[in-house]
Every structure is written in structure tokens, then in C-alpha cells.
Chains A and B, each alone.
Chain A
Amino acid sequence: DTEVTQTPKHLVMGMTNKKSLKCEQHMGHRAMYWYKQKAKKPPELMFVYSYEKLSINESVPSRFSPECPNSSLLNLHLHALQPEDSALYLCASSQGFLAGTDTQYFGPGTRLTVL
């Protein structure tokens, strides 16, 4: 399996809702990432997990809460989001820093709309 999968594909939520985005990979990768991509803009790194530990948090608001239950799964918990948080949320994975490579493979993304 050489793919990163994400669910759901689309999500519409109100500002008071709590929802979660899910990401899964079965490539044995030990680094996983969350990105946010607005229309016609490049992806922006949000979080990095390395060996199931949060290693990078790019000053993301606390209404976004990542979780890495195991080496194959990555979640992003959403709570009290704002309309400006509407975007495509991309998950990616790579072999990890200790492997000496950080070629990232992206999932298809979750298109999030906050009303």
C-alpha cells in the first residue's frame, strides 16, 4: 500500500461543532504531517509528528488539536473553528528524520467549510 488516505473528503461544520479529521498510512512511515491549504496558495505546515511524538507545532491556534494514536494514524480534532479556517487540510507522511529522507507523500485532503 503506497497511499495516504484521509477521511472525510468533505466536511461542513458550524462554529460550535466538534469534529475530527483522520489520516492513515501503511507505508511504515514514522513521520506524519498536517498542512492547511487555502485556494490558490501553497500548503502551510501545521504540525509534525515524528515517531508518534509531536515535534513541530507551527504556532497553530489551540482550536486545532492533533493526535497520533499509533504510527499509522493521525487525527486532527477541530473545535470552535472560525470561517477563515475553511480550507483543504492535507495529511502527509514520510520515512522520518532518522531514515535520512523526508520525501513527503500527500493524502487527497479534506475540504473543510466552516459556517
Chain B
Amino acid sequence: GENVEQHPSTLSVQEGDSAVIKCTYSDSASNYFPWYKQELGKRPQLIIDIRSNVGEKKDQRIAVTLNKTAKHFSLHITETQPEDSAVYFCAASHWGISGTYKYIFGTGTRLKVLA
């Protein structure tokens, strides 16, 4: 079945450095790719998303890139801060014309930003 692979599972960076998390999806029909940040005991919160007709999107320190041909997309966080520490999930989604719906999360990356 469809799946989304996410790497790495854990990532430690020094404060001020950049962090990159990568996801690969299998369903070529996927057309929407959100990234969520989930702090311990809290809800997943959308931090950035990208649609299949766009190759890159940036919002302040956060950016996402999409390579549809290779079926992978990446999250880039620059100038990391301790409050960026959390679990990050990617997801791949699409609504099918026949009424099917897929919203599949990656396995998550635990990011630790060391002060």
C-alpha cells in the first residue's frame, strides 16, 4: 500500500545551525504535502505545506522543497532555536475523484536543538 518514508528518525543540531528532514512518498497521485510540528503532549500543528504544482515554498526560517519526479520533499529549518525542538511529521495527501482519500503521515523526526 501507499506509504511515506521519513528520515532521519532523530536529529540533533547546535542552536543556529540548519536542520533538514526528508520524506519520500509512493503514491504518484499525492498532490498535497504538509509538515506538522508536534510538541510533547500537544496537538500536531501545521508549520508549512506545499502543493504539487509548486517546487519550493518559504516562510521565514522554514522552507519546503518538492521533487515530484523523484517523489520526495524536504523540510529545511535555518537558524534553529531551542524552541524548534519537537517531533516533525511530513504527510502526503490526495482526494480521489472516485471519493477515495489518503492522508498518510511519515514516521516522524525527533529534532533536538542544543543550546
- Of B45, B46, B105, B107, the most chain A CB neighbours within 10 A belong to B105
Q: Are B103 and A90 in contact, CB atoms less than 8 angstroms apart?
A: no
B103 to A: closest C-beta gap in Å: 5
Q: Are A43 and B44 in contact, CB atoms less than 8 angstroms apart?
A: yes
The SS class assigned to the B binding surface is: strand
Q: In the bound complex, how far is the Cα of B45 from the Cα of A90, in angstroms?
A: 12
Q: Are A48 and B44 in contact, CB atoms less than 8 angstroms apart?
A: no
Q: Quick check: which of B12-20, B65-73, B74-82, B93-101 contacts chain A, the rest being far away?
A: B93-101
Q: Considering only CB atoms, which chain A residue lies closest to B108 in the complex? A: A42
Indicate with 1 or 0, residue by residue over B48-85, a CB within 8 angstroms of chain A CB atoms: 01000000000000000000000000000000000000
Q: In the bound complex, how far is the Cα of B48 from the Cα of A53, in angstroms?
A: 29
Q: In the bound complex, how far is the Cα of B43 from the Cα of A44, in angstroms?
A: 14
Interface size class on chain A is 20 to 34
B109 to A: closest C-beta gap in Å: 11
Q: Considering only CB atoms, which chain B residue lies closest to A109 in the complex? A: B43
Chain B residues within CB distance 8 Å of chain A = 32, 34, 36, 42-46, 49, 89, 93, 95, 99-101, 103-108
10 more A-B residue pairs beyond the given contacts A41-B107, A42-B105, A108-B43, with a C-beta to C-beta distance below 8 A: A42-B108, A43-B89, A43-B105, A45-B103, A48-B101, A55-B99, A97-B101, A103-B34, A106-B45, A109-B43
Chain A residues within CB distance 8 Å of chain B = 33, 40-45, 48, 55-56, 90, 97, 101-109
